[in-house]
Amino acid sequence: MAKTILITGCSSGIGYDAAHGLKAAGWKVLATCRKEEDCERLRAEGLTSFQLDVADPESIDAGFNEALARGRGRLDALYNNAAFACPGAAEDIPTGALREIFETNLFGLHDLTNRAIKVMRAQGDNGEGRIIQCSSVLGMVGYRWRGAYVATKFALEGLTDVLRLEMRDTDIKIVLIEPGPITSKFRKNAITHFEKWVDWENSARRQQYEDDLLNQLYKSRGPAKFELPASAVTKVILKALDAPNPKPRYAITVPTHLMEVARRILPGRALDWVLAKG
């Protein structure tokens, strides 16, 4: 019998590729999206898809119950992928924007994780299942203009590290994956939140916005340096799912591997200099 995995944020990018890739690898994939029109598109492509908005507790409840019904009460794996960014200088990010991004990138994820653990504890003699959290290279190091997103990923890394330690007495494995630049609609989606929350025109850093961040967001660019396709992440997810004893974290892309080393060996001021150069 095929194993069942629940994936959030499948409308595009990493989640979309993971849904198709894991289905092709023999998994029973429950691919969730925030919008019904995206679910309809995925169903037309042959996937099992239904709504689950991780920022909405009622949607989480309904979506998770739907997942259990589809899996006949069993859930072998959860891949927490849904997330977004709200770029801008930290001093220009309103508290409301932080609350909104944490609701999706951490609080909803935590809710789903706890629900999954309760189900997985009832599977096997010592609990059985796998939970994969999608972090980022920005869960390792800070980066200018990305303070809100960095804050959520640092929080996710810390929470996941503790959860992994606490679950050592079970057969429920907790894994972090840490992508760097991946081909997706992430930048396009970030613009929506930037325009909603950041009053850059009245910022003390207005000139820096004009010289730097606005170009990053709005100027048409090709792939970023070292950018990989979303399939590179899917390949690592499969490795983390199939390994009898998966690693605590999997770094993906050259920048992530470099930052993994840099934060271990560089003094704080030297690391700040490297990151400030961007």
pLDDT in tens, the chain (278 residues): 799 999 999 999 999 999 999 999 999 999 999 999 999 999 999 999 999 999 999 999 999 999 999 999 999 999 999 999 999 999 999 999 999 999 999 999 999 999 999 999 999 888 899 999 999 999 999 999 999 999 999 999 999 999 999 999 999 999 999 999 999 888 889 999 999 999 999 999 999 999 999 999 998 777 788 999 999 999 999 999 999 999 999 999 999 999 999 999 999 999 999 999 87
**230-to-13, 14, 87, 199, 248 alpha-carbon distances in Å:** 6, 5, 22, 32, 21
Query: In angstroms, rounded to a whole number, what is the distance separating the alpha carbons of residues 38 and 99?
Result: 25
149 part of the active site: yes
| Residues paired with residue 240 on neighbouring β-strands, in sequence order | none
Query: In angstroms, rounded to a whole number, what is the distance separating the alpha carbons of residues 180 and 170?
Result: 31
Query: In angstroms, rounded to a whole number, what is the distance separating the alpha carbons of residues 70 and 6?
Result: 10
Reference 110, options 147, 160, 71, 38; nearest CA is: 160
pLDDT computed for residue 96 by the predictor? 98
pLDDT computed for residue 221 by the predictor? 72
Q: Give the length of the chain.
A: 278
| Residues paired with residue 133 on neighbouring β-strands, in sequence order | 80, 176
Query: In angstroms, rounded to a whole number, what is the distance separating the alpha carbons of residues 104 and 92?
Result: 20
Query: In angstroms, rounded to a whole number, what is the distance separating the alpha carbons of residues 264 and 270?
Result: 12
Return the SS3 of 131. Answer: strand
Query: In angstroms, rounded to a whole number, what is the distance separating the alpha carbons of residues 239 and 257?
Result: 17
CATH at residue 69: 3.40.50.720
Quote the domain boundaries for residue 236.
Answer: 4-277
Q: How, if at all, do strands 28-33 and 4-7 pair?
A: parallel
Of these residues, 16, 79, 149, 250, which one is catalytic? Answer: 149
Domain count, the chain: 1
**274-to-4, 18, 142, 263, 278 alpha-carbon distances in Å:** 42, 32, 11, 10, 7
**pTM of the predicted structure, to 2 decimals:** 0.95
pLDDT computed for residue 88 by the predictor? 98
Work out the mean pLDDT of the chain and round it to a whole number.
96
pLDDT computed for residue 213 by the predictor? 96
Residue 16 Cα to chain centre, angstroms: 12
Query: In angstroms, rounded to a whole number, what is the distance separating the alpha carbons of residues 124 and 44?
Result: 35
pLDDT computed for residue 125 by the predictor? 84
- Please say whether the beta carbons of 129 and 172 come within 8 A: yes
Residue 211 Cα to chain centre, angstroms: 29
Query: In angstroms, rounded to a whole number, what is the distance separating the alpha carbons of residues 104 and 56?
Result: 8
